[in-house]
Amino acid sequence: MKNSLSSLQPTEVWSHFEKLCAIPRPSGHLEKVTRYVADFGRSLGLETQMDAVGNVLIRKPATPGMENRRPVVLQAHLDMVPQNDSHVPHNFEIDPICPYVDGEWVKAQGTTLGADNGIGLSSICAVLESKTLRHGPIEALFTQDEETGMTGAKGLTPGFLKGEILLNTDSEQENEIYVGCAGGVNIKATFRYRDEPVDLGPDEAYVSYALTISGLKGGHSGIDIHLERGNANKLLFHFLKEAVRNHKVRLSSVSGGNMRNAIPREATATVVLPLQEEAALLSSVETYAQEMSAEYTRVEENLSFQAEKVDMPLTWIPAPVQDDLINAIVACHDGVLRRVPGAPDMIETSSNLAIVQSAKDEINVLFLARSSNEKMKMYLVSMIESVFALAGAKVETTGNYPGWQSDLYSPFLQLAKKVHVDTLGVEPQVMIIHAGLECGIIGEKYPDMEMISFGPTLRHPHSPDEKVEIASVGRFWKFLTALLENIPEKG
């Protein structure tokens, strides 16, 4: 294992990625990386702009003899998903990512790596910096907060871009060219109530425990949703339902998950119960842990369910609200809902029960629903909304973004496939990805722009297991640069 990436090929990409890892850039905190990219463009003497929402646009003129090629937009997002192992203290707003080489992969020490979309971002910087690459006019577009709602893409204004072709670098499997993606929408269910003082009664002793599910793999709620990994929120609430029924448990607080597009890896509930039920509860925890381990034996090797005695809380959730919350979460849909009819290897519609978080006098439950079929997306929204409305929660949707579908017979797609074969000797698969890409939103603003998405091989983005295959980065770079050299002439 070695920490330096300086010896990896292509050095022009890896050197930029190593610098990028030193710049904190979690979603919502992009001031430093935005300034870094803008300063980089200006240091090269290139036209550099920033729009009202913080997107950075850098224009590089064509190399001599290539001025008549169609102008190209190279696009990547600036932010990364902040996830770390519970035993690894990391403040994503100030601490750098610590990448290292592990065999054929680059990983990070206990955190997300940020190769999503940092490798694409780094490759674009390498194109801007190159003095040898032949290309037509290039616009490099770096967008804000893709991971938390595609803020940058939504904030683009018509006319900001001049390019006719967009190459999105946010895909995560080499030898695949993506021409479509799922749309998505956030669903938020809110239970409001008045916290009740813990009423222990005069005749019985009580104890309090923190029940924690941890050690799950989590992952990207689009790309990894078909892997049937455990959802910490779902698993915890299945146990809470039985604990309320069998051990007279009262729920005081709950916290599970922290990102709408990451499968939750950990969840904790603080509960109060009669002392006489303590031994039975601890026995149930042990039994449930064994059952989960057996159920997920090939999927979640490090799954853990623990009960830790804690100080008695001052308040708990009113019993009717507690019961409605538990029943709704147990009943709601999570995971794959439907695969593409006629194409069972492709996921069409899914949901991620991403966050359950109690605060003073309210509990918020957040989902991200995805589908490449708009009707099915809204059908799923209606399903989840109905469950929580029946439970007495207020339900609202936000951040709706469209799916994307390019022309499967476009001349540019055919060119890209040919360049891929000529450059790498492999016929690429033309795919639709279940994750969300910014192409659909940008395409609404620039309907005549042709778009494809491609990238190197990443595994398990949005989790601390994220890694990028070193050799695939070289092949990605080779294809990207060859494609730029072969962009056709205008009109």
> Which one of the listed residues 12, 18, 79, 466 is annotated catalytic?
79
- CA 435, CA 263: separation in Å to the nearest integer? 13
- CA 127, CA 141: separation in Å to the nearest integer? 13
- CA 475, CA 457: separation in Å to the nearest integer? 10
Structure tokens at 223: 């790309």
- CA 394, CA 363: separation in Å to the nearest integer? 11
Contacts of 225 (CB under 8 A, 6+ apart): 263, 335, 336, 347, 350, 352, 370, 434
- CA 293, CA 289: separation in Å to the nearest integer? 6
In the chain, the amino acid numbered 439 is C
| Residue 69 phi, psi dihedral angles, 5° rounding | -75, 155
Structure tokens at 298: 């090939």
Whether 146 sits among the annotated catalytic residues: the reply is yes
Q: Helix (H, G, I), strand (E, B), or coil: what is residue 331? A: helix
CB contact at 8 A, 315 and 198:
yes
> Which one of the listed residues 85, 116, 145, 146 is annotated catalytic?
146
Contacts of 440 (CB under 8 A, 6+ apart): 181, 183, 401, 402, 403, 404
- CA 430, CA 14: separation in Å to the nearest integer? 27
DSSP code at position 220: B
Structure tokens at 151: 């803020």
Whether 361 sits among the annotated catalytic residues: the reply is no
- CA 98, CA 436: separation in Å to the nearest integer? 27
Q: Would you name the residues annotated as active-site residues?
A: 79, 146
